[in-house]
Structure 1
Amino acid sequence: SDLFVGLEPGQDKVLGVAPSPGQTIQVGGRQLIAIADQYGVDWIDQSSTAIARITRAGRVLDKVFFADLVRRNLPGNDNDAVVVELDDFMPMTVAADDAAPVVLSDVNWDQKSGRFTATVYRAHPLGDGQHDTFLLRGSVRATQSVLVFAHALPGGSKLSASDVRVNDSYTGHVTNQMFSAATSIEGMTLLHSVVADQVILDRDLQKTIVMHKGDPVLISFRSPGLHLAVTGRALEDGFDGQYVRALNLASKMIVTGRVVNGSELDVDTTSGPVPSDSATLRRLTSSSNNGLGVQRRSAGW
C-alpha cells in the first residue's frame, strides 16, 4: 500500500525493510510491474519508466534535545541551573512517532572540571552499530544571575532600571565586581560606551555627581525641634549620600555634611567645624562667583 492505491481488503503485504527515518528509497518501473504481477495488483498504467519514491517520516534530535537529556540525567543535579555544551555533535534522525527514541546510560560527570561523558543507544536499532550507539562528550557549567545592559549606550549616560536586565543563565566567571540587581546601579553614570548584553562591572560606572565643587549650597543642621540653615560653597564634588566638605560663608568655617541633593548638605553632627585657611578661600573665590547673600542663622557654625 506504500506503492499502490485501491488494494482489495487483505491484499496488503510487507515487501521489505523500510528506509531509515528521514530517508528515501526508489522503486523503478520494472520492479513495480513485477510486484503488481506477483501480488495481483490491477495496475492499469504499467510503465517501465515509472519511479516510486518512498520517504519515511522522521524528526531530528538536535543539540538542544541531547543537552536537555544530559541535564535531566546528571547525578546529584537537583535543579536546571546548569548549561550543557556538547563536543563534536552530530544530529540524529529518528521516527517521527517515536516518543522515546534513545536511551542515555553510563553518565560520568566530573563536577570539579565540569567535563562529562555519556553513552547514547537507539531504542529501536537500525542494525548499524555506528549509528545505533555513540558517545556524548561535553561540559557542564553552573548558571548564575548577573546584570547586563539591555541595549547599547554611549559613555556619560545616566542609568535607569530600563537600561539593564538580569541574565539568569550566565556561565562565565563571576566576581564581586558584577551586579545582580537593577537598584544597585540606578542613577549611576557610564564611564564609556557599552553594547547590549554586556555584563555590567563596577569599573564601567561611577556614581553620578550631583554637587560640584564651588557650587552654592544650603548647609543645614537638624536635631529634634531644631533646624538651622546657612548658605555656603561646596569644596568638593559629591554624589547623593556622600559626605563632603563645604565652606560656611558666614563663619568662614569648613563643615562636613551629607549630600541631600545638588544644593543642600546635612551637617554631620559628629564632626566639628574647622577654620578655613587663606589658600582655601582664594581657591574657592577664583573658581566661582559668589552672588548669594548670607542668611545668618547660627554664628557657631
Structure 2
Amino acid sequence: MRVRAAIAVAIAAGIVTLHISGGSAATLRNTTVVTTDNVKLSDLFADLDPGQDRVLGPAPAPGGSIHVGGRQLIAIADQYGVDWLDQSPSALATITRSGRVLDKDFFIDLIRKSVPDVGSGPVSVDLVDFHPLIVAPDDRNPVIMTDIDWDQKSGRFSATIYRTHPIGDVTQDSFLLIGTVHASQTTLVFSHPLAAGAVISPQDVRIGESSTEYTSGRIFTDETEVDGMTLLHDVTAGEPVLDRDLHRTILMHKGDPILIVFIVPGIRLTATGKALEDGGAGQYVRALNLSSNMVVTGRVAGPSQIEIETGSAAVPSDPNMLRRLATSSRANTRANLSLR
C-alpha cells in the first residue's frame, strides 16, 4: 500500500518523467520474493537498462505481500522510463517479503532461557490462544520477552513479547504470551494401562518424565521400590507412579510362623521364628527368634521368610516391647484400612 501511495502522489504532483531506453524491452515479474526492507524497480521488471534500478518504497512486513495492478505498473514504467512493451491494464504483480515463522517450539525454547527456575530437565508448555509470529529470516534476535510471571505451583505463565524490529502495527509489534509451564522430572511411569487391584511388577513400569503438577504424592525412581505393591485404582500408560495410588501387598502377617535366614559371606544360617508385624515384599519387619528369644529385623523375602542382613543387630525381647509392637501393628492396620 505504501508503494501504491508513493506512486499515486508522484503522478498527482506531475513529477513523472520519461526516459528513453536504448536497451531491450523489459518484462514484468508477476511474482517476486524480496528479502530486504525496500522494494526496487527490478523487483517489478526484469531486463532493466544498466543504472535504471531505483528504490520505490518500503517492503511489506515479513511474510506479507503487496499487489500492484496494471494501471499502477504502467504509471511506474512511464515514470522511470521502463520500455515495457506488453503493458496491459489487466496485468498484476505480487511482491512478497520473505519471513521466518516463530512457532511454539521457538517460544518454548525462549521460555526455557528466560525462566531459569524451570531447571535443566524437560519442560511441559501449553500456550493458550497462540498465533505464530513471522519475522525477517536473517533476524537473529527477533523478539524480547519481558514482564515474566510464573506461578510454579499452578504452572500459570504470562509474559509480554515485543518485536526487536517493530513493523508499525500495534497489533503485531507486541502481544501477551499466556499458558501453563511445568518443569518435568525423571520418575517411574506406568508402561501400560493397569486395573485397580493389580500387583505391580518391574515390567509394569519404566523411567519417564512427569510434570510437577502431578507430584502431590511421593514419586519413585527405582522399580524395586514398587515391586509387589497393589494399585488402588485404574491407571493409564505414561501416568506417574505415586505412593498415594499404591498400597503394600501383605505377604506376611503378624503371628505367622516364619523362617529366619541369616546371610553372611559364605554362610547361610536359619532359625525358626514368629512375625511380630505385617509385611509386604521387600519390606523390613521385626520377628521373634524362638531359639534365642531375641527380636531381629529382616527383609520380607516371601510369605514365610525374612532375610537378616550383615550388620543387623538383635535385641532381647521383653513383655513391654512385644506389647508396643502389638499396639503399633493394630494402628498400622487401621490406617491401611482407612486408605482403602
When normalised by structure 1's length, the TM-score is 0.64
> Is 1:164–2:200 an aligned residue pair?
no
Q: State the Cα distance separating 1:12 from its structure 2 match.
A: 1.9
Mean Cα displacement is larger for which, 89-98 or 51-60? 89-98
- Equivalent AA in structure 2 for residue 165 of structure 1: I
User: How far apart, CA to CA, are the structure 2 residues paired with 1:108 and 1:154?
Assistant: 42
User: How far apart, CA to CA, are the structure 2 residues paired with 1:193 and 1:20?
Assistant: 53
Mean Cα displacement is larger for which, 143-152 or 22-31? 143-152
Partner of 2:7: none
Which of 254, 259, 269 is the matching residue for 1:219?
259
- How has the CA–CA distance of structure 1 residues 89 and 15 changed in structure 2, closer, same or farther, with 3 Å as cutoff? same
Report how many residues are paired.
266
Mean Cα displacement is larger for which, 80-89 or 125-134? 80-89
User: How far apart, CA to CA, are the structure 2 residues paired with 1:228 and 1:150?
Assistant: 39
Which of 18, 43, 51 is the matching residue for 1:10?
51
- How has the CA–CA distance of structure 1 residues 78 and 141 changed in structure 2, closer, same or farther, with 3 Å as cutoff? closer
Give % identity: 45
- How has the CA–CA distance of structure 1 residues 34 and 257 changed in structure 2, closer, same or farther, with 3 Å as cutoff? closer
- Equivalent AA in structure 1 for residue 200 of structure 2: K
Q: State the Cα distance separating 1:160 from its structure 2 match.
A: 1.0
> Structure 2 regions of 5+ residues with no counterpart?
1-41, 320-340
User: How far apart, CA to CA, are the structure 2 residues paired with 1:32 and 1:65?
Assistant: 39
- How has the CA–CA distance of structure 1 residues 5 and 36 changed in structure 2, closer, same or farther, with 3 Å as cutoff? same
Task: Say if 2:142 and 2:164, in contact at 8 Å, map to a contact too.
Answer: yes
> What do residues 163-217 of structure 1 show as CA deviations (whole Å, max 9, x unaligned)?
232326x2316345333444422343334321023232223223345568999x8
Partner of 1:190: 231
Q: SS state of the match for residue 165, structure 1?
A: strand
For the aligned residue pairs, the C-alpha RMSD in angstroms reads 4.7
> Is 1:148–2:189 an aligned residue pair?
yes
Partner of 1:35: 76
Mean Cα displacement is larger for which, 140-149 or 221-230? 221-230
Q: State the Cα distance separating 1:54 from its structure 2 match.
A: 1.7
Where is the helix percentage greater, Structure 1 or Structure 2?
A: 2
> Is 1:131–2:172 an aligned residue pair?
yes
1:1-301 correspondence to structure 2 within 5 Å: 1-74=42-115, 79-80=119-120, 89-105=130-146, 107=147, 109=149, 118-136=159-177, 143-155=184-196, 156-160=198-202, 163-167=205-209, 170-172=211-213, 174-210=215-251, 219-220=259-260, 222=262, 227-228=269-270, 238-243=280-285, 258=298, 259-262=300-303, 264-265=305-306, 270=315
> What do residues 130-169 of structure 1 show as CA deviations (whole Å, max 9, x unaligned)?
432345566766555443323322341423166232326x
- How has the CA–CA distance of structure 1 residues 207 and 271 changed in structure 2, closer, same or farther, with 3 Å as cutoff? farther
Partner of 1:291: none
- How has the CA–CA distance of structure 1 residues 212 and 60 changed in structure 2, closer, same or farther, with 3 Å as cutoff? same
> What do residues 89-122 of structure 1 show as CA deviations (whole Å, max 9, x unaligned)?
54432122221222344x3657798877654432
Q: State the Cα distance separating 1:14 from its structure 2 match.
A: 1.5
- How has the CA–CA distance of structure 1 residues 102 and 159 changed in structure 2, closer, same or farther, with 3 Å as cutoff? same
Q: State the Cα distance separating 1:229 from its structure 2 match.
A: 5.2
User: How far apart, CA to CA, are the structure 2 residues paired with 1:34 and 1:126?
Assistant: 28
Q: State the Cα distance separating 1:19 from its structure 2 match.
A: 1.4
When normalised by structure 2's length, the TM-score is 0.58
Task: Say if 2:191 and 2:203, in contact at 8 Å, map to a contact too.
Answer: no
Task: Say if 2:208 and 2:238, in contact at 8 Å, map to a contact too.
Answer: no
Mean Cα displacement is larger for which, 151-160 or 79-88? 79-88
User: How far apart, CA to CA, are the structure 2 residues paired with 1:230 and 1:160?
Assistant: 31
- Equivalent AA in structure 2 for residue 98 of structure 1: D
User: How far apart, CA to CA, are the structure 1 residues paired with 2:142 and 2:221?
Assistant: 40
User: How far apart, CA to CA, are the structure 2 residues paired with 1:157 and 1:190?
Assistant: 7
Task: Say if 2:274 and 2:287, in contact at 8 Å, map to a contact too.
Answer: no
